[in-house]
């Protein structure tokens, strides 16, 4: 289906105007940067209302099939919306796991019933989704999941616990990786994948206090929770394979996401903007040659990262190790963010020692972002594990 | 040896559980613990014998403050000592007679040098004093004042007729509502904003000499002691976890990705201690340049490396490190506070450059 | 695709054994290889069609120079192209007519901008020209002039009556003994000092316009291409060793102490390529500021990271890395040469600062 | 034996005057920084003559027993000589392995015959010593040495090869670690230690070209070389233990060395001195704020290292991990040197790209020192292995 340039241009103008009109504006409290940081009811409700509004205006899931609640339009329209949202820095779409991981997964390999049941609620934010992969004792070692799912008549009985469940207390569903068997040929063979209800007896999401002193994650306990047997996705034993497919969506290596802004990440231009208005010891921070040099270093590094994606489209420039750029993306991006947030504190002189509150610079968001940046350098495979992965899969080095 | 005594006392009286309890509480510190610190004589260490003190040196406080830092122990000992040091260096005889014996016996004092802009240049002051009829009318505000709510006396810096001067404000002169608690990154500490507007002090409360440099040096020394202790402690937190946590069936301490950076943290900590005790050793005998070099080197090195150790401590604890429950964050917060008070590494290196290079 | 052709050609014709042979030889490059480069038309790439060239862009040379860098291949292609670029940008019609067709067909040219002091500021010149009767008498010297011994023409920069100008010196005008081979860190290259004292050139040899900036930009682009290639190659040298060498009964590539830094070298290399091809892509279309930013970013990043890769390559080869026989040193030497020609990372970051921050 | 302050003061003046008088001065070629870098006959002969002169003046081995050729004086005299040599930066004592490792070892555990035979030649530089520990295939894994020593009547037959034998072509003796048995309970049990002659048939030291393009190391081949059985030190199977004792001397962890300056290492003050006279782009390098900051960083790091040793004398400051400072010394010192030599190149602008020759700054010694610095970050256990050692032995972390 080809779309004319003119049509796209007009659409962009329409979206831009709508966003300007409907941007929910400053809520009067510090907003989270992503769904992983939603820690209070007021934050959650503000963000859910906003997603609902965007969806009902027709700007979310635009390329998903119309029969399940999507827009049925070419992807390019959704991309324009996402770009405009980023440009105008409106709040993000909070049902991230539904929109970007569970949704595409269900559309790709779900049954007709599953698509009918789940897709619309994902888009409207009526049904919030969370993820149950990691476990307390096996951080980076997903394949070793010990949460049990035991068949009992038509149901499964779930026991164990999952950790880092963002939005756990708000979620209606969880994508759950659990062990249905312990006597397979290897640890992966016993895993199965569930689209599991959260609001049933025996499922108990308990908020975890983060190093920021805020909430935003849960540990979800399963105390012999009974869920319908139909909740399983695929067959018993296919869990690892489906989880890996889900991670491809999580890493953005595969398309099919509902679109819409996924986070309001601070970026290097925000740091530059902070640097421009900061003073250190009574002088503009940008008069300090060391600050200048560090800022330029960050800009070079950020530019290098930004250039990576367009470059990968030129095959000849990526023939030797085609996955190098994609597989190192998380490592590059998350470590850069951690470091530039640290740097942002150093722009504030003694006020670098403040924390979230009215007297802190920008309300303390830099301090909070620095602390929250660890969720990305740790979650989804620590930077140390990422380096193993790149070393082994991209460079072909032996396992550590 | 003072270090051993201090280490024993602080680890017994400030286990990490009690640190976490203190964070939750309203009061700025534990009265009970403070009483014991006084009984140990620590508040009297730097006070000259002629003012009912022990007549020892700032140097003797270093192992104590290092031990406090190691256990994240908070009392007004440092702020009281710094105020006493300012009085010794710049106070009038009357001021010394009035305050030094009281501080030696546990009166709480603090220093209020910072302002809203957060400048490390202590002479850059936007709080003012105006003289009239033997009185000084104050305006503006001081920020990040530690232990202000409990203080019997606060030593402030102000711009008086274009010159920086130091002055004492007694507790009784601080109106209700003039102190506001501030939110700072190190939750074990308490810091306040002090609004000066409307406060009038007697001229006799002005210090004879504006010994800002001496206060800065003493603060740097004690901050470095606190950081050296914290750095040693966070290293132990890391090593403990690396020796007990398993991933992929191996203790994570066997992975060089964690082991080797931890070795660097050890090396940095040892260097911090070396710089600290060097500065302490020459405290009483060095030329001003030598002392300034030693202190700024110590602060520059410790600021950067303790903050780095705190950062790595969080990372190396993986998911647990991201929780409030993990002790790594306590040290990271402490490290960031210390890094950004009285100049970070870049600031001190810039001040060192002319001393070392030109 | 030009990159594939270039990679094939360079790896076939410049295996590392032949690179080592070349280092030992007297001549500056292999005549045979140079003839083949000419036959491939590479010397004609940037020459306009009106001067018997191919009329392509500097951009088209980038994959070729990257491939040469990957194989440490040395020919006068880069120096000839840079001289041709200078003529295109700043030469008179007569100069272009005289030289461009000859360079397209393989005449050797080079640029001589550096001087003994090693300044990166190309306008800071201590070699002089004095005009008399339509002639220019030269004095001083130029340094680190690549391929000077073989060059048919050398493009020099001089201070002429207070202004920097460019001038051509034909081979025939260079007296015996005016060229002295210099010892440089990259042994695959040849560089010379050119003594100007006593050389007199015709005024017609002065370029119409002093296009130092254009020469600098083209040099940066091609240096970055060379570095990107070298960086990719040294990464392969490391990976190969890590996958074959065992210590303590394990392949050393399984140790994170080597694996993780090698991943960083990969990431840095990919960033170097991204910066390089970004600059190449916008070469013909960008505003001057955009191009300057892209080029200086590319040079700053590549200078630091290629030198770091070379350094680590030596270290990661252990004892073997310390020998001349190990290829790691070839790349470290290449990297250091490239790092210190036309500005290192600090220099370019300082020039970027006003463009990016103010 | 107590020595008066006055006596020491006079002695220091005497030494100082002697050194000033007898300093052999600039030889007209670039001198090596240590015995590991002696690459040409002219360098070697210049240095041997100098050591011989120092010894015959009574300033070397002053605390070694007089009956074997030493001075029989208190150590303090030798220390004064060494200090004065460092202060005046005279050339170093080139028979380093003899003076600092083999000599103390022989004095500590050698037989009377061994002491009589070897000590004097070590001091006079008549008998140059080299070391045969490392092997080509087992760089950092000393215990795995494969060079064989097979008993044959009164002799041993040596076969195999050793690498990194400094002064190999000049040496008369080698301290050699070789395998006398392969069926011990572990790899260490089969090793024996020899004071082995170099000038016998079948011993073939072949110079290795270094990355600097200079020579200075050999690979020493043993082709069934026959050496007298009396060359063994201690008993068969004690080799590992004796080698470890030797390494303690090498690392300076144990006293007993003959003294005298062991190297002419460039240090941070040399870098500062270079920085002060360098120009970058027509301006003094020290006007550049980035150069200034980097220089200050190096000075802080170097000062930290310099303060370590005096600090270790205060027990209370080292009670928690008493070996931390000593065991990290090589790592700290050698890595700092590598980095500050790199930095020294950056002070030279385009001339950073020169190499050893008359046009290079300081004759190219910074470039050469940077390259040679790898011998210290690699030899004697790479920095990577050093970090393992510190992590495991000082911090008690599990083995990698």
Query: Which tens digit of pLDDT belongs to each residue from C239-251?
Result: 999 999 998 889 9
Q: What is the pLDDT of residues B237-251, one digit of tens each?
A: 999 999 999 988 899
Q: What is the mean pLDDT of residues A176-193?
A: 92
Q: A121 and A135, same structural domain?
A: no
| B346/D304 Cβ within 8 A | no
Measured between alpha carbons, how far is residue B90 from residues B85, B209, B210, B224, D319 in Å? 8, 4, 6, 23, 38
| C263/A387 Cβ within 8 A | yes
CA dihedral sign of residues A289, A290, A296, A300 = positive
Report the percent of chain D where pLDDT is more than 90. Answer: 81
B253 touches chain D (CB under 8 A): yes
Report the percent of chain B where pLDDT is more than 70. Answer: 99
Chain B residues 223-242 with CB within 8 Å of chain A: none
Q: What is the pLDDT of residues D296-347, one digit of tens each?
A: 999 999 999 999 988 888 888 888 899 999 999 999 999 999 999 999 999 9
pLDDT > 70? residue D139: no
Specify the DSSP class assigned to residue D31.
Answer: P
Q: A115 and A212, same structural domain?
A: no
> Which residue of C263, C291, C306, C351 to mutate against A (max A Cβ within 10 Å)?
C263
| Structural domain contains residue D400 | no
Record the tokens describing residue D45, joined without a space: 């002969």
- CA D250, CA D252: separation in Å to the nearest integer? 5
> Which residue of B351, B357, B358 to mutate against D (max D Cβ within 10 Å)?
B357
Q: A174 and A209, same structural domain?
A: yes
How many CB pairs below 8 A link B and D? Answer: 120
Largest interatomic CA distance in chain B: 78
Chain C residues 300-339 with CB within 8 Å of chain D: 307, 311, 314-315, 318-319, 321-326, 328-329, 332, 336-337, 339
pLDDT > 80? residue A137: no
| Structural domain contains residue A290 | yes
DSSP alpha helices (H): ranges in A263-389? 268-277, 289-312, 324-346, 365-378, 383-389
Q: What is the pLDDT of residues D377-399, one digit of tens each?
A: 998 889 999 999 999 999 999 99
pLDDT band at A313 (very low <50, low <70, confident <90, very high): confident
> C351: distance to nearest CA of chain D, Å?
13
Q: D368 and D334, same structural domain?
A: yes
- Give residue D256's pLDDT: 84
Q: Are strands B153-160 and C141-146 parallel, antiparallel or unpaired?
A: unpaired
Query: Phi and psi of D50, rounded to 5°?
Result: -65, -45
- Measured between beta carbons, the chain D residues lying within 8 angstroms of B352 are 296, 299-300
- CA C208, CA C89: separation in Å to the nearest integer? 9
- Give residue B162's pLDDT: 94
Largest interatomic CA distance in chain D: 73
| Structural domain contains residue D232 | yes
Which residues, other chains included, contact D251 with Cβ-Cβ below 8 Å and sequence gap of 6+? D326, D329, D330, D380
Q: What is the mean pLDDT of residues A197-203?
A: 97
- Give residue D253's pLDDT: 63
Q: What is the mean pLDDT of residues A359-384?
A: 94
Q: What is the mean pLDDT of residues D4-11?
A: 94
Domain count, chain D: 3
Domain B212-357 has CATH 3.30.950.10: no
Q: Which H/E stretch holds residue C194?
A: strand C191-195
D293 touches chain A (CB under 8 A): yes
Q: D192 and D120, same structural domain?
A: no
Report the percent of chain A where pLDDT is more than 90. Answer: 81
- Measured between beta carbons, the chain B residues lying within 8 angstroms of D314 are 277
Record the tokens describing residue D268, joined without a space: 């941070």
Query: Phi and psi of A129, rounded to 5°?
Result: -115, 150
The helix/strand count (H/E) of chain A reads as 12, 10
Q: What is the pLDDT of residues B131-153, one digit of tens each?
A: 999 999 999 999 999 999 999 99
Annotated catalytic, D250?
Answer: yes
- Cα-based angle B33, B36, B41 (whole degrees, multiple of 5): 135
- Measured between beta carbons, the chain A residues lying within 8 angstroms of B341 are 350, 353
- Give residue D265's pLDDT: 81
Q: What is the pLDDT of residues C298-329, one digit of tens each?
A: 999 999 999 999 999 999 999 999 999 999 99
Q: D273 and D201, same structural domain?
A: no
Final residue before a domain boundary, out of A220, A250, A280? A250
Identify whether the C-beta of residue C127 lies closer than 8 Å to the C-beta of residue C158.
yes
Chains that touch C (3 or more CB pairs under 8 A): A, B, D
The residue length of chain D stands at 400
- Give residue A216's pLDDT: 85
Please name the member of D300, D392, D397 whose beta carbon is closest to the beta carbon of B297: D300
| Structural domain contains residue D385 | yes
How many CB pairs below 8 A link C and D? Answer: 141
Start-to-end Cα distance in chain C: 40
Specify the DSSP class assigned to residue C196.
Answer: -
Measured between alpha carbons, how far is residue B295 from residues B3, B274, C203, D294, D300 in Å? 20, 11, 63, 18, 11
- Give residue C110's pLDDT: 98
Catalytic residue among A84, A114, A214, A250: A250
> D275: distance to nearest CA of chain B, Å?
9
Tell me the residue ranges of DSSP E strands in chain A: 129-132, 148-152, 155-166, 173-179, 191-197, 203-208, 217-228, 232-233, 279-280, 283-284
Identify whether the C-beta of residue B321 lies closer than 8 Å to the C-beta of residue B314.
yes
pLDDT > 60? residue B1: no
pLDDT > 90? residue D268: yes
B260 touches chain C (CB under 8 A): yes
More confident of the two residues A136 and C96: C96
Which residues, other chains included, contact A28 with Cβ-Cβ below 8 Å and sequence gap of 6+? none
- CA A116, CA A65: separation in Å to the nearest integer? 11
Q: Which H/E stretch holds residue D369?
A: helix D365-378
- Measured between beta carbons, the chain C residues lying within 8 angstroms of D208 are 323-325
Q: What is the pLDDT of residues B177-203, one digit of tens each?
A: 999 999 999 999 999 999 999 999 999
How many CB pairs below 8 A link A and C? Answer: 119
pLDDT > 70? residue A139: no
DSSP alpha helices (H): ranges in chain C? 2-13, 16-24, 31-39, 62-70, 77-90, 93-104, 212-242, 256-282, 288-316, 318-321, 328-340, 345-357
B243 touches chain D (CB under 8 A): yes
- Give residue A252's pLDDT: 67
pLDDT band at A264 (very low <50, low <70, confident <90, very high): confident
Please name the member of B263, B349, B356 whose beta carbon is closest to the beta carbon of D395: B263
Query: Phi and psi of D234, rounded to 5°?
Result: 65, -150
Long-range contacts for D308-314 (Cβ within 8 Å, ≥24 apart)? D308/B270, D308/B271, D308/B274, D308/D332, D311/B273, D311/B274, D311/B277, D311/B278, D314/B277
D349: domain CATH number is: 1.20.140.10
Report the percent of chain A where pLDDT is more than 70. Answer: 98
C248 touches chain B (CB under 8 A): no
- CA C230, CA C224: separation in Å to the nearest integer? 10
User: What are the boundaries of each domain within chain B?
Assistant: 2-205, 212-357
- Measured between beta carbons, the chain B residues lying within 8 angstroms of D305 are 271
- CA A51, CA D61: separation in Å to the nearest integer? 84
Q: What is the mean pLDDT of residues C38-45?
A: 96
Dihedral through CA D373, CA D376, CA D381, CA D382, nearest 10?
Answer: -20
- Measured between beta carbons, the chain B residues lying within 8 angstroms of A353 are 144, 184-186, 336-337, 339-341
| D383/C318 Cβ within 8 A | no
- Give me the interface pTM, i.e. the ipTM: 0.94
Minimal-distance CA residue of chain D relative to C321: D211
pLDDT band at D242 (very low <50, low <70, confident <90, very high): very high
Please name the member of A324, A325, A400 whose beta carbon is closest to the beta carbon of C259: A400
C255 touches chain B (CB under 8 A): yes
- CA D102, CA D112: separation in Å to the nearest integer? 15
Identify whether the C-beta of residue C75 lies closer than 8 Å to the C-beta of residue C108.
no
- CA D34, CA D170: separation in Å to the nearest integer? 15
> D353: distance to nearest CA of chain C, Å?
5
Q: In whole numbers, what is the pLDDT of chain C averaged over residues?
A: 96
DSSP, collapsed to helix, strand or coil, labels residue D92 as coil
pLDDT > 60? residue B263: yes
Q: D145 and D246, same structural domain?
A: yes
pLDDT > 60? residue C286: yes
- Measured between beta carbons, the chain B residues lying within 8 angstroms of D321 are 266
Tally of CA atoms within 13 A in the half-sphere of B119 that contains its CB: 15
> B256: distance to nearest CA of chain C, Å?
5
pLDDT > 80? residue D255: no
Q: What is the mean pLDDT of residues B70-92?
A: 97
Catalytic residue among D33, D37, D245, D250: D250
Q: A109 and A157, same structural domain?
A: no
Please name the member of B258, B321, B337 whose beta carbon is closest to the beta carbon of A378: B321
C271 touches chain A (CB under 8 A): yes
Query: Phi and psi of A215, rounded to 5°?
Result: -105, 180
Q: Which H/E stretch holds residue B292?
A: helix B288-316
Q: D385 and D276, same structural domain?
A: yes
pLDDT > 70? residue C43: yes
Please name the member of B255, B328, B340 whose beta carbon is closest to the beta carbon of A350: B340
Please name the member of D301, D311, D397 whose beta carbon is closest to the beta carbon of B277: D311
Chain C residues 182-221 with CB within 8 Å of chain D: 182-187, 193
> Minimum mean pLDDT among D102-106, D156-160, D247-251, D350-354: which range?
D247-251
Q: Which of D388, A226, A253 is nearest to B257 (CA)?
A: D388
Q: What is the mean pLDDT of residues D53-70?
A: 96
> C236: distance to nearest CA of chain B, Å?
22
Q: D118 and D152, same structural domain?
A: no
- Measured between beta carbons, the chain D residues lying within 8 angstroms of A289 are 289-290
> A97: distance to nearest CA of chain B, Å?
19
> Minimum mean pLDDT among B108-117, D89-98, D149-158, D181-190: which range?
D181-190
| A316/C4 Cβ within 8 A | yes
D60: domain CATH number is: 1.10.540.10
> Which residue of D37, D134, D209, D350 to mutate against C (max C Cβ within 10 Å)?
D350
| Structural domain contains residue D20 | yes
- Give residue C333's pLDDT: 98
> A300: distance to nearest CA of chain C, Å?
6
Record the tokens describing residue C91, joined without a space: 């030469």
D157: domain CATH number is: 2.40.110.10
Q: What is the pLDDT of residues B197-216, one digit of tens each?
A: 999 999 999 999 999 999 99
Tell me which residue range forms the domain holding D368. Answer: 268-394
Q: What is the pLDDT of residues D146-155, one digit of tens each?
A: 999 999 999 9
DSSP, collapsed to helix, strand or coil, labels residue D153 as coil
Give me the CATH topology for the region B2-205. Answer: Butyryl-CoA Dehydrogenase, subunit A; domain 2 (2.40.110)
């Amino acid at each position: 289906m080809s779309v004319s340039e003119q049509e796209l241009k007009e659409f962009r103008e329409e979206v831009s105007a709508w966003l300007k009109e409907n941007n929910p504006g400053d809520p009067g409290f510090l907003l989270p940067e992503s769904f992983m940081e939603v820690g209070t009811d007021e934050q959650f409700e503000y963000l859910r209302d906003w997603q609902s509004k965007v969806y009902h205006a027709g700007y979310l899931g635009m390329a998903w099939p119309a029969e399940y609640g999507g827009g049925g339009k070419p992807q390019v329209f959704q991309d324009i919306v996402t770009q405009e949202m980023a440009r105008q820095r409106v709040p993000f779409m909070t049902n991230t796991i539904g929109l970007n991981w569970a949704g595409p997964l269900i559309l790709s390999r779900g049954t007709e019933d599953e698509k009918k049941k789940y897709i619309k609620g994902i888009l409207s934010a009526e049904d919030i989704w969370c993820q149950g992969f990691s476990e307390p004792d096996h951080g980076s070692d997903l394949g070793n999941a010990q949460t049990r799912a035991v068949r009992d008549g038509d149901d499964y009985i779930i026991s164990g616990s999952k950790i880092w469940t963002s939005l756990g207390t708000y979620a209606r569903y969880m994508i759950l990786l659990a062990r249905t068997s312990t006597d397979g040929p290897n640890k992966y063979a016993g895993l199965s994948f569930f689209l599991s209800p959260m609001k049933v007896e025996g499922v108990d999401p308990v908020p975890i206090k983060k190093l920021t002193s805020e909430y935003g994650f849960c540990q979800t306990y399963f105390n012999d929770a009974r869920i319908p047997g139909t909740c399983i996705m695929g067959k018993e034993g296919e869990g690892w394979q489906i989880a890996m497919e889900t991670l491809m969506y999580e890493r953005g290596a595969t398309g099919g996401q509902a679109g819409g802004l996924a986070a309001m990440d601070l970026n290097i231009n925000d740091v530059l903007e902070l640097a421009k208005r900061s003073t250190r010891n009574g002088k503009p921070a940008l008069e300090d040659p060391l600050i200048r040099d560090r800022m330029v270093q960050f800009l070079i590094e950020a530019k290098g990262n930004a250039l990576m994606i367009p470059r990968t489209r030129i095959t000849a420039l990526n023939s030797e190790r085609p996955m190098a750029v994609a597989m190192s993306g998380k490592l590059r991006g998350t470590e850069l963010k951690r470091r530039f947030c640290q740097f942002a504190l150093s722009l504030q002189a003694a006020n670098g020692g403040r924390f979230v509150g009215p007297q802190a610079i920008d309300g303390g968001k830099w301090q909070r972002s620095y602390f929250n940046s660890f969720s990305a350098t740790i979650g989804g495979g620590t930077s140390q594990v990422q380096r193993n992965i790149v070393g082994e899969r991209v460079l072909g080095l032996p396992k550590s | 040896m003072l270090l051993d005594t201090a280490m024993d006392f602080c680890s017994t009286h400030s286990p990490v559980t009690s640190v976490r309890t203190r964070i939750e509480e309203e009061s700025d510190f534990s009265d009970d613990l403070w009483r014991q610190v006084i009984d140990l004589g620590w508040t009297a260490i730097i006070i000259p014998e002629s003012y009912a003190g022990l007549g020892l040196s700032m140097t003797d406080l270093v192992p104590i403050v290092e031990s406090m830092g190691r256990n994240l122990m908070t009392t007004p000992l440092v702020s009281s000592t710094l105020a006493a040091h300012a009085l010794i260096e710049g106070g009038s005889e009357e001021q010394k007679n009035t305050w030094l014996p009281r501080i030696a016996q546990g009166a709480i004092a603090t220093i209020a040098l910072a302002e809203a802009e957060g400048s490390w240049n202590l002479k850059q002051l936007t709080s003012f004093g105006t003289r009239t009829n033997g009185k000084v009318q104050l305006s503006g505000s001081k920020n990040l004042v530690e232990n202000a709510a409990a203080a019997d006396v606060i030593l402030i810096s102000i711009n008086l007729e274009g010159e920086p001067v130091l002055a004492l404000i007694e507790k009784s002169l601080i109106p209700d509502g003039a102190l506001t608690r501030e939110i700072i990154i190190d939750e074990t500490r308490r810091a306040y904003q002090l609004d000066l507007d409307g406060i009038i002090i007697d001229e006799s409360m002005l210090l004879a000499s504006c010994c800002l440099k001496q206060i800065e040096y003493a603060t740097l020394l004690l901050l470095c002691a606190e950081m050296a202790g914290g750095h040693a402690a966070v290293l132990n937190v890391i090593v403990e976890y690396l020796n007990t946590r398993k991933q992929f069936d191996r203790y994570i301490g066997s992975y060089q990705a964690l082991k080797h950076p931890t070795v660097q943290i050890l090396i940095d900590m040892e260097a911090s201690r070396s710089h600290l005790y060097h500065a302490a050793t020459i405290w009483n005998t060095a030329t001003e340049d030598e002392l300034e070099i030693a202190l700024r080197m110590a602060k520059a090195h410790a600021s950067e490396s303790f903050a780095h150790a705190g950062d790595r401590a969080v990372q190396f604890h993986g998911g647990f490190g991201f929780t409030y429950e993990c002790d790594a964050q306590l040290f990271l917060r402490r490290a960031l506070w210390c890094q950004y008070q009285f100049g970070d590494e870049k600031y001190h290196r810039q001040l060192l450059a002319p001393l070392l290079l030109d």
